[in-house]
Amino acid sequence: MQILFLGTSCMFPTKERAQPCVLMIKNGSYLLFDCGEGAQRQLRIAGISPMKIHNIFITHWHGDHSLGIAGMIQSMAGNKRKTALNIYGPKGSKKRVACLLKAFDFKIEYELKVHELDLKLGECRPVLKAKDFTISAFRVKHGSATLAYVFKEADKRKINIEYTKKFGLVQHPVLGKLQKGLDVEYKGKLIKAKDATYIKKGKKIVYLTDTIYFKDLKNLIKDSDILICEATYMSDKEDKALEYEHLTAKQAGMLAKESNAKKLVLTHFSQRYENVQPLIKEAKSIFKNTIEAKDFLILELR
């Protein structure tokens, strides 16, 4: 499992940072979260064909999070794509994608499926269920209708080797049954799945950007392995953060702590901060395991 940061700026792209875009790769599934301007070029620079992407999750339709969609659609069309592309976004997304198709001169031979998610505040609903993972969305508080996304690897039942060894069980077909959660009888002895196996929780990654801090947020994102969170401003600009409905680095740190995150990755930095180290420091003072997202940073999860 990999997370590749393709864009880590805020509204204005800078020399070092493209607009928001994060790619998660899980067993051959390429999942794009937000698609700022230049996403297709960032992918190419990273050596990844846009053709690999089948699912794009848009938080909201402010341009910095969505301007790159038209280019992705066009490049895929230019490559004579035939397989469907899924775009997930808040209410209104269907109309917006339809407008995009009218704005540019495209010929598309593949299906463009737009999934509109009209969620109530506090509700968290699965939007894509795959064999290995589920992606859910919940609503946050921003001017434009905005979602946050939760990637959750499927939990896996693992064999408790120390326990099964006691029965002389090594590389035996009954282990497969145990792994499916079934009790088995082996050489006249009953082996219960609940004793011979344990559940290894799948990784949880939260993509949270463009919201103010609100009461239920910590519950919606709780126990993440990685919390990818905006840190648009320093806390001395909390008024500005509130005005534009963004989080400060301090609030990101608080959220990581309160929600019991394992690691916090800060992104979506305002262009006013050429050096973002003070923002990282601010969050770190509250939540130690904080790092800075940079364009082309890769996080490997094992």
Exactly one of 14, 29, 134, 289 binds its own copies (CB under 8 A); that residue is 14
Distance of closest approach, residue 120 Cβ to its own copies, in angstroms:
20
66 vs 209, beta carbon nearer its own copies: 66
Distance of closest approach, residue 219 Cβ to its own copies, in angstroms:
27
Distance of closest approach, residue 240 Cβ to its own copies, in angstroms:
14
Taken in order 213, 32, 121, 132, the sign of the CA dihedral is negative
- Given 34, 64, 210, 295, which residue is catalytic? 64
Exactly one of 2, 44, 132, 181 binds its own copies (CB under 8 A); that residue is 44
144 vs 235, beta carbon nearer its own copies: 144
Does 48 help bind its own copies (rule: CB under 8 A)? no
| Cα–Cα nearest to 33, from 270, 267, 289 | 267
Sequence-ordered alpha helix ranges (H) in 259-294: 277-284
Other CB atoms within 10 A of residue 231 CB: 33
14 vs 160, beta carbon nearer its own copies: 14
239 catalytic residue (yes or no): no
Does 51 help bind its own copies (rule: CB under 8 A)? no
- As a whole number of angstroms, the distance between CA 218 and CA 256 comes to 8
Distance of closest approach, residue 118 Cβ to its own copies, in angstroms:
16
Q: Which residue has the tokens 């090594």?
A: 170
Calculated CA dihedral for residues 293, 296, 301, 302, nearest 10 degrees: -150
Rule CB under 8 A: which of 158-217 touch its own copies?
Answer: none
Rule CB under 8 A: which of 59-118 touch its own copies?
Answer: 60-64, 66-68, 70-71, 74-75, 78, 95-97, 99-100, 102-106
In the chain, where do the E strands start and end? 2-7, 21-26, 29-33, 53-57, 85-90, 112-117, 124-129, 133-140, 146-153, 156-159, 184-186, 189-191, 197-200, 204-208, 226-230, 263-267, 290-292, 298-300
- As a whole number of angstroms, the distance between CA 232 and CA 210 comes to 9
Distance of closest approach, residue 147 Cβ to its own copies, in angstroms:
13
60 vs 139, beta carbon nearer its own copies: 60
Q: Which residue has the tokens 């998610």?
A: 117
Give residues in contact with its own copies (CB under 8 A): 11-15, 18, 37-38, 40-41, 44-45, 60-64, 66-68, 70-71, 74-75, 78, 95-97, 99-100, 102-106, 143-144
Q: Which residues are catalytic?
A: 64
